[in-house]
Every structure is written in structure tokens, then in C-alpha cells.
Amino acid sequence: MIKQAIIPLAGLGTRLLPLTSVFAKELLPINGKPGIEYILDECIDAGIKEVIFIISKKKKMIKDYFYNDKFYKNIIKSKKDPRIIKEYKKILKYKKMIKFVYQNKPLGTGDAVLKTKKYIKSKFFLMLLPDDLIIKNNCSKSMIKIHNQYKSSVMASMSINRKTVSRWGIYKLKKKIDKKNFLIEDVIEKPSKSEAPSNKAVIGRYILPKKIFSKLLKQKPGKSNEIHITDSIQSLIKENEKFIAHIFSGKYLDCGSLNGYIKSTIEISKL
């Protein structure tokens, strides 16, 4: 059973500057609620019991957000406002399930994942990239179902415009399992148009095997000199580890770019 999730949060958020120069993008409000809370709610609803946040010293405010008890207690004592009491209870619920690990140099997603190595207990775990919101359907929950059925790794996937392949991890199909699930033959991080084996992109939800850590330990920096999780996934696939691409049915919102961030508030306000 998948009970642990990890969330890399140690990136610099340069695409959202100037909003991110002193503020953690994951705490920016999307329709009045910090983005990270949507991700946590998805985890809870998918049956996750422990979430590991990979943060950096620069992103310490993320930890502070969940550890502001004294402040809440004082306000509640003087104001007794039911709304604030409810919000504080929600924060306490989140806090109980979160563990923090640090990646102080942003060497890439692969390096971030490696920081969680000693905390992962089961053979598989879930990873969510917080810039990628998926609304209207719980993508993690659907992926866990697929994992339980096929006992394999799973990655969320969608078709993208061919012109934008160099922004994504792009995979090559091996075999159709059913309408929404495909076996993957290869995956390439941010390929050029000519390198891209398809227009199918990996979106920020992964069910990964614990054995990825042995690959990450040896992983050399790839594109833009970063250690990419995709490169270690590629090595595992080459050694016949089964990876399934799951075409999710929710709506994808890219909160990592300024345009996408603005649009996501509009989309969520329509729900």
C-alpha cells in the first residue's frame, strides 16, 4: 500500500519572479488558499498518511506556516473566532502528517528526491510536484489504484503541443494496456523537437519504486547541469522496470509560471 508521499519544494521559483523573491511560491494563494494545501488535500483524499517536504533554508517560511501554534493560540484566546479555530485545526491536521528534510542547494529534482532516502519505508512511494495542480479528479488516487492493480510504477501523463516538448519529460509508448494506461518504453527529459519520441508528457505525479535511490546515488547531472529524476527513471526502464503512463482525467493547471498561476485562480474560482 502507498502511504508515503514526497513533495520537492526546494526550487528557486524563478519563473514566478518577482512574486518569489522573498516568498515561497507554494504558499501563494490560489483562490484564497495556499497552493500547497490543494496538494495536501489530494494526498489525504488518496489515503496518504505521511508527507515528506523537501525544503531549503530559503524556504523556511513553509515550515513556519505549519508551526505557528503560539500565534494561533494567542489569537484564538482573545478572539474566539470559529473561522480561525477551524483554520488552525486544519493546519494541525496537516502538521501531524508532515516531515521536513532539507536540500540547501537546488541541484535538481533527482537530488531533492535523494534527500528522502532514509525515510521511505515501503517498496513504492508517491511524489507530487506542487506546481502541477490537477483539479476535478484526484489524480494521485487514480494512480494508486493502477499501481495496486499492476504492482508497477506509474506517472501522470497528458498530450501536449509538439512545439512545447522541450519544457517537459517526454515518453515513448511501448504498449497500450487500456484506454487510459500505457506501458512506457523510454522517457527523455526536455528533448528538442527532433529528439522527442512523441507529444506525451509526464506531469508532476509519480509512483516511484524505492530502488530509484540506488540510481540517484550514481546519477550524473543532465540538461542544464541539474540532476533530473527523469534520467534515473530512464535508467530503470532500460533495466526492464515497468512504468505505466496514466492519462489522468482531471484538469491540469500549471502554477509554476505567471500566466498559469493567474489562470489557475480563475479556473478554481469556477468550481
| Interface pick for ligand UTP out of 39, 88, 98, 108 (rule CB under 6 A) | 108
Q: How far apart are CA 220 and CA 223, in angstroms?
A: 10
Count of CA atoms in the C-beta half-sphere (13 A) of 65: 22
Q: Among 51, 112, 170, 255, which residue sits at the site for ligand UTP (rule: CB under 6 A)?
A: 112
Min dist CB 216 to ligand UTP, Å, is 12
Of 34, 209, 256, 260, the one binding ligand UTP (CB under 6 A) is 256
Residue with smaller CB distance to ligand UTP, 257 or 269: 257
Q: Does 35 bind ligand UTP (CB under 6 A)?
A: no
Cell triple for 220: 550524473
Buried b (16+ CB within 10 A) or exposed e, 10-33: bbebebbeeebeeebbbbbebeee
Contacts of 41 (CB under 8 A, 6+ apart): none
Q: Given candidates 130, 209, 222, 260, which one binds ligand UTP under the rule CB under 6 A?
A: 130
**Residue 15 binding ligand UTP, by CB under 6 A:** yes
Q: Out of 4, 103, 138, 219, point to the residue binding ligand UTP (CB under 6 A).
A: 103
Minimum Å gap between C-beta 131 and ligand UTP is 5
Give strand pairing partners of 205. 128
Query: By CB under 6 A, is residue 260 in contact with ligand UTP?
Result: no
